[in-house]
Amino acid sequence: MTTPRSRILLLALGGTIACRPTRDGLVPGLGAADLLAAITPPGGVQVEVADPITRTILYPADWVTLSEIIHDRRAHYDGFVITLGTDTLAHAACALALMLQGLDCGVVLTGAMQAIGGAAGAPARRNLRDALQVAATGQGGVFVVFHGKIMDGRCASKQRSDSDDAFDSVNAAPLGTVSRSKVRWRRKLTAPAGRRRLRSALSTNVALALLAPQTDPDAIAALDRYDGIVVAGYGDGNVSDNLVAPLVELARRRLVVVASQCPHGAVHHRYAGGAALIRAGALSARALSLEMACVKLMWALGQAPTVRGARQLFRRA
């Protein structure tokens, strides 16, 4: 009896992994078929290819397109692998994790810090092969696979700009590893909750405000044009004294989420500045990465018809 083959759709979206060198620098030039030809696919995996988007940076409209492709083609495939640029990979993973509800197959995002061809492309080839192996396990969810680590798509964040080990799992341990062509989950993952459905609506009228010691209080007024604002404060989600009053007023008029500029650790708002914003109605990002805080706010505002509804959805999703 022959072993059933896992059918995986490889979606190539550009990025460094698919780049070719030119006189003007690296530009995306390789498609999904080229990437697949650069590796030996894992045994028992049948890979089909598609090139729906080609660019180095993905935009919110691209996340929607991706979610629709995966939702519409789910019945035809056992899993999906997406190769894309690393600079916005974490944002895309967060978005797909929110949009694809009740996901009963693996959606695995990966990329590389070097193009897949030549000697320097060995890490890229490993990442692609590892991603295909994880997708073929049948485990449902959105994952980022990079440098042998399997990360929850909601927690992965690019932390290094010049290392093959570019991504960390923020405030959560990696879910597993891929080593010597073997997938090892660190713990048993729970089955996807609820029925499978697509919730892809987003609001792009969201800003990220990274506070600095020289931030002028008058600059806060410019944020009033946005429906949602993620305020990246200091440490525990604190803000400087001179910004408390304008940020409190902003939190009373708009949906504000208070996060930290620190890449690791949750925010508890133990200091007066950050606590004042929470009392005024701002939401806490808690242990979310900055990427997830921004994308989740965009998603909540896009899904709910009212600010109150978006606030509730942000808290519970």
Same domain, 113 and 194: yes
Task: List C-alpha distances in Å: 317 to 18, 235, 259, 280.
Answer: 34, 24, 17, 22
- Residue 34 in any domain: the answer is yes
CATH number of the domain bearing residue 164? 3.40.50.1170
Active-site annotation holds for 104 = no
Q: What pLDDT band is residue 41 in, cutting at 50, 70 and 90? A: very high
- pLDDT tens-digit profile of 104-113? 999 999 999 9
Please give the backbone phi and psi of residue 214, each rounded to the nearest 5 degrees, phi first.
-90, 5
d(CA 293, CA 219) in angstroms, rounded, equals 22
Answer whether residue 1 is part of any domain: no
Q: Are residues 79 and 219 in the same domain?
A: no
The model carries a pTM of 0.96
Tens-place pLDDT, residues 193-210 = 778 999 999 999 999 999
Instruction: Answer yes or no: do 192 and 306 share one domain.
Output: no
With respect to residue 114, please indicate whether it lies within any of the assigned structural domains. yes
Chain center to CA of 153: 6
Query: pLDDT tens for residues 64-97?
Result: 999 999 999 999 999 999 999 999 999 999 999 9
- On whether both 145 and 288 belong to a single domain, the answer is no
Domain end position, chosen among 172, 198, 224: 198
Q: Which of 59, 65, 215, 271 is catalytic?
A: 271
16 is catalytic: yes
Among this protein's residues, is 158 annotated catalytic? yes
Q: Does residue 270 contact residue 236 with C-beta atoms inside 8 Å?
A: yes
pLDDT at position 3 over 60 = no
Tell me how crowded residue 171 is: count the other CB atoms within 10 A of its CB: 16
* Residue 281 counted as domain residue: yes
In a domain, 187, yes or no: yes
Tell me how far the alpha carbon of residue 307 is from its chain's centroid.
Answer: 24
Among candidate residues 139, 199, 227, 121, the one with its CA nearest the CA of residue 175: 139
Active site residue 182: no
For position 234, what pLDDT does the model report?
A: 98
Catalytic residue among 54, 65, 87, 164: 87
Q: Which residues contact 85 (CB under 8 A, 6 or more apart)?
A: 13, 14, 15, 16, 55, 56, 57, 58, 111
Clarify whether residues 164 and 231 are in a common domain: no
Averaged over 238-257, what is the pLDDT? 98
Q: Is residue 50 part of a domain?
A: yes
Domain shared by 10 and 124, yes or no: yes
Q: Which of 169, 198, 227 is the last residue of a domain?
A: 198
Count of structural domains, the chain: 2
| Number of C-beta neighbours around residue 286 at 10 A | 16
Do 56 and 105 lie in one domain? The reply is yes
Which candidate in 56, 83, 86, 110 is catalytic?
A: 86
**Do 121 and 254 share a domain, yes or no?**
no
Catalytic residue chosen out of the listed positions 158, 168, 226, 296: 158
Q: What is the pLDDT of residue 56?
A: 87
Domain boundary among 198, 220, 253: 198
Three-state secondary structure string covering 260-284 = ECCCCCCCCCCCHHHHHHHHCCCEE
- Residue 87 bears catalytic tag: yes
> Is 163 part of any domain?
yes
176 and 73 share one domain:
yes
Same domain, 249 and 297: yes
Q: How confident is the model at residue 4 (pLDDT cuts 50, 70, 90)?
A: low
Q: Is 316 exposed, middle or buried (0-12, 13-18, 19+ CB in 10 A)?
A: exposed
15 domain residue, yes or no: yes
Range of the domain at 129: 6-198
